[in-house]
């Protein structure tokens, strides 16, 4: 199975020779190493770059154990840089394995206590040294908990350029599974909703093995990483927070509500501060993303509650034991991930609407637009509606779009393969399959 992953490949090409460290990030096992060490390397070779000018350091392999400190890593790479005036490309896989080390000439006893930590050489120092060398282009991957987004921002500042990699999109999933132009896209989408797009899960042909793999990622990789990074005791609370937020995917929630859920359903005592901290850890690990609520008419964010979406529906379903697999919520999650993958900023829209209630009094209620999508040069409102079997259901979905009070493009994405059509009032309607496979639909909606 070979998937080109052209979106990320183009980002790497665009960032070549920019003087920055190219940092390929994303949830573990989503294909970062393959992108860099296979796809990008092959492209460089096609451009005429010979093997001497590609220096690879896969730190997770035993034969590179001697490079697993910052000083040895830098020395090993510098010894292999050709001095012929041509560009050399340095690939370091799992760079966080290069531990900090005290240079031999440094005597900690001579330093003030507050200066001792800064005396150590770190892999950040090594990378920044390499990037300043003439004709050296540096690329790294990092997925261990010590190489998360917050570390990148603080350690590299304006010296790094991040490429965020996601699990397979639906288009990539079709490519990987051989669903060509004449294939059954609707059936493929149903499987994508269930199993998601983690590359090794997609490659696995046995559903039981696929389920075991996805279940093990959460238990043995992701949560273990977070506990190690933040030195958390394994008391089960983190796992139960994951279960609670996974179960609430696509629903409004906040730390306090999750605390109440844990106390009542899981019989776990915790507090708002702990849950909020654990949610931040899950975000830093690229496992979940928060979509905040935006008051469409008031032009402001609400403090709480918000929605949370999992990085991959297969991971989420596996964590829930494949017991809670609502296609409506799963499709909403897939749409959110796709919009983020395409470079959009995504919020949950809130439209206050005043109407006459059942008691005859005028009441103001908050109605939801699933996604307020922002990407230069435009804005778009999207409702995710897996099914609209009745006229009443359709009216509920369309009401906040009609009452938004502005002239931005409105769209309803439904389940299935329905082609794009536009209503008399200008609301676009399209099936999720063509929306996911034809990026031109989103591009036109944001441009018009």
Q: Where along the chain do its domains lie?
A: 6-164
Write down the pLDDT at residue 161: 83
Write down the pLDDT at residue 268: 85
As a CATH number, domain 6-164 is 3.40.50.300
Q: Tell me the three-class secondary structure of the chain, residue by residue.
A: CCCCCHHHHHHHHHHCCCCCEEEEECCCCCCHHHHHHHHHHHHHHHCCCCHHHEEEEECCCHHHHHHCEHHHHHHHHHCCCCCCCCCEEEEEECHHHCECECCCCCCHHHCCHHHCHHHCECHHHHHHHHHCCCCEEEEEECCCHHHCHHHHHHHHHHHEEEEECCCCCHHHHHHHHCCCCCCCHHHHHHHHHHHCCCHHHHHCCCHHHHHHHHHHHHHHHHHHHHHHHHCCCCCCHHHHHHHHHHHCCCCEECHHHHHHHHHHHCCCCCCHHHHHHHHHHHHHCCCEEEECEEECCCCEECCCCEEEEECCHHHHHHHCCCCCCCHHHHHHHHHHHHHHHCCCEEEEEEEEEEEECCCCCEEEEEEEEEEEEEECCEEEEEEEECCCCCHHHHHHHHHHHHCCCCCCEEEEEECCCCCCEECCCCCEEEEHHHHHHCHHHHHHHHHC
Write down the pLDDT at residue 156: 64
Residue ranges, the chain, pLDDT below 50: 145, 148-149
Write down the pLDDT at residue 145: 45
Write down the pLDDT at residue 325: 84
Write down the pLDDT at residue 246: 95
Write down the pLDDT at residue 153: 52
Write down the pLDDT at residue 148: 47
The rounded percent of the chain whose pLDDT value lies above 90 is 80
């Amino acid at each position: 199975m070979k998937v080109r992953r052209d979106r990320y490949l183009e980002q790497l090409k665009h960032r070549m020779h920019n003087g920055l460290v190219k940092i390929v990030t994303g949830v573990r096992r989503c294909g970062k190493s393959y992108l860099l060490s296979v796809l990008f390397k092959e492209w460089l070779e096609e451009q005429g770059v010979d093997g001497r000018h590609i220096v690879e350091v896969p730190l997770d392999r035993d034969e590179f154990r001697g490079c697993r400190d910052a000083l040895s890593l830098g020395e090993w790479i510098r010894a292999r840089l050709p001095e012929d005036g041509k560009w050399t490309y340095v690939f370091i896989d799992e760079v966080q394995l290069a531990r900090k080390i005290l240079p031999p000439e440094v005597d900690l006893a001579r330093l003030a206590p507050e200066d001792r930590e800064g005396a150590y050489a770190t892999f950040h120092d090594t990378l920044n040294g390499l990037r300043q060398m003439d004709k050296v282009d540096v690329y790294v991957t990092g997925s261990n908990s010590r190489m998360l987004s917050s570390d990148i921002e603080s350690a590299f500042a304006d010296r790094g350029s991040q490429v965020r990699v996601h699990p397979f999109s639906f288009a990539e999933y079709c490519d990987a599974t051989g669903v060509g132009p004449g294939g059954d896209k609707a059936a493929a989408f149903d499987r994508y909703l269930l199993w998601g797009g983690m590359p090794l899960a997609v490659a696995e042909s046995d559903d039981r093995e696929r389920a075991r793999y996805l279940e093990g990622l959460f238990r043995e990789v992701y949560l273990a990483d977070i506990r190690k990074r933040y030195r958390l005791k394994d008391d089960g609370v983190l796992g139960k927070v994951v279960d609670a937020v996974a179960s609430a995917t696509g629903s409004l929630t906040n730390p306090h509500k999750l605390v109440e859920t844990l106390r009542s359903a899981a019989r776990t005592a915790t507090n708002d501060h702990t849950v909020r901290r654990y949610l931040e850890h899950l975000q830093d690990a690229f496992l979940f993303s928060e979509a905040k609520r935006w008051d469409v008419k008031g032009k402001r964010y609400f403090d709480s509650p918000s929605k949370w979406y999992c990085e991959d529906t297969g991971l989420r379903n596996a964590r829930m034991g494949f017991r809670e697999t609502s296609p409506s919520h799963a499709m909403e999650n897939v749409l959110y991930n796709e919009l983020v993958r395409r470079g959009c900023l995504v919020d949950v829209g809130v439209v206050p609407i005043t109407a006459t209630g059942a008691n005859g009094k005028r009441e103001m209620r908050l109605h939801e637009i699933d996604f307020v999508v922002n990407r230069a040069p435009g804005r778009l409102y999207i409702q995710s509606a897996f099914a609209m079997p009745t006229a009443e259901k359709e009216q509920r979905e369309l009401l906040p779009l009609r009452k938004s009070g502005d002239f931005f493009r409105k769209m309803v994405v439904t389940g299935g393969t329905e082609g794009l059509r536009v209503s008399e009032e200008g609301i676009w309607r399209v099936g999720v399959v063509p929306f996911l496979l034809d990026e031109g639909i989103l591009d036109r909606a944001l441009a018009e």
